[in-house]
Amino acid sequence: MFDVAVVGATGAVGTTMLRVLEERGFPVRELRPLASARSAGRTIDYLGKPFTVQELTEDSFEGIQIALFSAGGSRSRDFAPAAVEAGAVVVDNSSYFRMFPDVPLVVPEVNEAAIQGHSGIIANPNCVAAPLVVALKPIADAVGLERVVLSSYQAVSGTGAAAIEELRAQAAGFLTGDEPEPSVYPHPIAFNALPHIGPFEDTGYSDEETKVINETKKMLGLPDLAVSATCVRVPVLNGHSESIQIETRDKITARQARELLMAAPGVVLMDEPNETIYPLPRLATGRDEVLVGRIREDLSHPRGLALWLSSDNLRKGAATNAVQIAESLVTRGWL
Ligand code: 25A
Ligand code: L14
């Protein structure tokens, strides 16, 4: 049994982490929910029992063996070293440590063995990159991968609880002629699509697009892979989707790709478009697997393939993947 801290326990991802720990029967001895001073003293529920949320400080980690962080990059930067100092292994959901060369960036279905080389911190990838590599890894292994071009359709839950509330309020207001002003996003998100996730960089790409590009190459172990991304916020409450075009080294047919993906860990193939069966964010919500479909050979390229996926960004994109990493630490003796 293990003493486990959840940092950001009251947030959209943190609360999902608690549910996933419960569902998977993670061997928790002591649970220590941590958040900002704002939430300290509140109770959260774990396995039917109330737990009091404590304020995150440098002294929060005494006796903790596993610390799951999801309270934003600056909290990870400021407090993960204290957790490691106290003897914990940190699984960090923020973007802060992901591209550090000595920090493993892991999706267990893709590169579980990388966990072994950790020095106290293991990074959990971005919620677009994680499902993407789950779908691409079997194809990369079978026929080689040369180029990936994707567009994302990202739900508001990725931004957190306040954004979920903003979409609900704007959608209701729009229909009754009294739409609230945007506050979380720079434009109305209800009945709209915003090609803007995170700040823009000198390259013209957004920070989110840059994370997807860099993390995909790191996790696939393909530093020379050509990747381009356009990340778009859509008025979906939960579940990120991706339209993906790939160019492979050797030709792969749609049928071969379906066979590979049917057998791939963490993938559910949903590819019977004539029966209206394809991945949808609402079908992905509440599931831990990545749903993949609309697989077809690209008419514009001899070694091109097109795919569509949907995945629960709070689960496989965040909480489930973090708990899977914690499970690997425990079951493989890598703690
Ligand atoms: O830097 P990054 O990596 O880009 O991450 C930025 C944000 O992205 C979310 C997460 O938001 C994070 O804050 N996030 C990170 N990784 C994610 C992923 N993979 C991800 N989202 C999706 N996928 P979140 O809403 O999920 O969680 C926020 C949690 O962080 C806690 N927190 C904030 N500041 C803290 C802190 N914990 C400790 N110390 C601090 N200084 C936050 O705790 C929550 O648990 P909280 O309890 O204070 O928040 C309770 C609720 O309060 C509301 N709220 C938020 N900000 C304010 C606020 N209310 C009033 N004023 C505010 N300024 C929220 O509704 C929150 O749920
Ligand atoms: O890199 O949908 O973990 O807003 C997670 C949430 C990036 C943005 C990350 C979203 C963030 C994403």
Q: What is the DSSP string of 257-283?
A: HHHHHHTSTTEEE--BGGGTB---HHH
pLDDT band at 118 (very low <50, low <70, confident <90, very high): very high
Angle at 8 between CA 3 and CA 10, to 5 degrees: 105
* Alpha carbon of 240 to ligand 1 centroid (Å): 19
Going from the Cα of 155 to the center of ligand 2, the distance in angstroms, rounded, reads 10
Tell me if residue 240 is catalytic: yes
Judge residue 209's burial from the number of C-beta atoms within 10 Å of its C-beta, 0-12 exposed, 13-18 middle, 19 or more buried: buried
Q: What average pLDDT does the segment 137-142 reach?
A: 98
Do the Cβ atoms of 70 and 93 come closer than 8 Å? yes
Q: Answer whether 239 contacts ligand 2 (Cβ < 6 A).
A: no
For 79-91, what is the mean pLDDT?
Answer: 98
Strand segments, DSSP code E, in 17-73 are 28-35, 43-46, 49-52, 54-55, 66-69
Closest CA to 97 of 134, 128, 124: 124
% pLDDT > 70, the chain: 100
127 ligand 2 Cβ < 6 A:
yes
The verdict on the CB of residue 157 being under 6 Å from ligand 2 is: no
Mean pLDDT, to the nearest integer, of 265-286?
A: 98
The pLDDT assigned to 166 comes to: 98
**Residue nearest to ligand 1 atom 48, measured at CA:** 36
Please name the amino acid found at residue 36. S
State which ligand 2 atom lies nearest to the alpha carbon of 198: 8
For residue 112, give Cα distances in angstroms to 54, 235, 292.
32, 34, 21
Nearest to 83 by CA among 37, 44, 128, 120: 120
Q: Whose CA is nearest to atom 2 of ligand 2?
A: 158
- Distance CA(191)–CA(167), nearest Å, equals 9
Pocket test for ligand 2, best of 96, 105, 124, 127 (most atoms within 8 A of CB): 127
pLDDT, residue 222, reads 98
Q: Strands 121-123, 89-92: parallel, antiparallel or unpaired by DSSP?
A: parallel
Q: Which domains does the chain have, with CATH numbers?
A: 2-125+318-331 (3.40.50.720), 129-155+193-312 (3.30.360.10)
Q: How many CA atoms lie within 13 A of 45 on its CB side?
A: 3
pLDDT level of residue 151 (50, 70, 90 thresholds): very high
Q: What is the pLDDT of residues 11-35, one digit of tens each?
A: 999 999 999 999 999 999 999 999 9
pLDDT for 248: 98
**Tokens describing residue 255:** 């049928």
Q: pLDDT-based confidence at 331, cuts 50/70/90?
A: very high
Q: Which atom of ligand 2 is nearest to the CA of 313?
A: 2
% of the chain with per-residue pLDDT over 90: 99
Conformation bin of residue 198: beta by default, left when phi > 0, alpha when psi is -120 to 50: left
Q: How many residues does the chain have?
A: 335
The yes-or-no answer on residue 127 being catalytic is yes
Write the residue with the smallest CA distance to atom 21 of ligand 1. 158
Ligand nearest to the CA of 210: 2
Query: Average pLDDT in the 205-212 region?
Result: 98
Residue nearest to atom 58 of ligand 1 (CA): 162
- Active-site residue (options: 118, 187, 240, 301): 240
- Write down the pLDDT at residue 246: 98
Cβ 154 under 6 angstroms from ligand 2: yes
Q: Is 83 helix (H, G, I), strand (E, B) or coil?
A: helix
Q: Give the pLDDT score at 190.
A: 97
Q: What is the pLDDT of residues 229-269, one digit of tens each?
A: 999 999 999 999 999 999 999 999 999 999 999 999 999 99
Per-residue pLDDT band for 116 (boundaries 50, 70, 90) equals: very high
Q: For residue 200, which phi and psi values (nearest 5 degrees)? A: -85, 150
> Where does the pLDDT of residue 4 fall: very low under 50, low under 70, confident under 90, or very high at 90 and above?
very high
C-alpha–C-alpha distance, residues 11 and 153, integer Å: 22
Q: Which positions ≥6 away from 300 have C-beta within 8 Å? A: none
Within 13 Å and on the Cβ side, how many CA atoms surround 226? 8
Separation of CA 208 and ligand 2 centre (Å): 7
- pLDDT score of 317: 97
b/e 82-93 (16+ beta carbons within 10 angstroms → b): bbbebebbbbbb
Residue nearest to atom 10 of ligand 2 (CA): 158
Mean pLDDT for 109-126 is 98
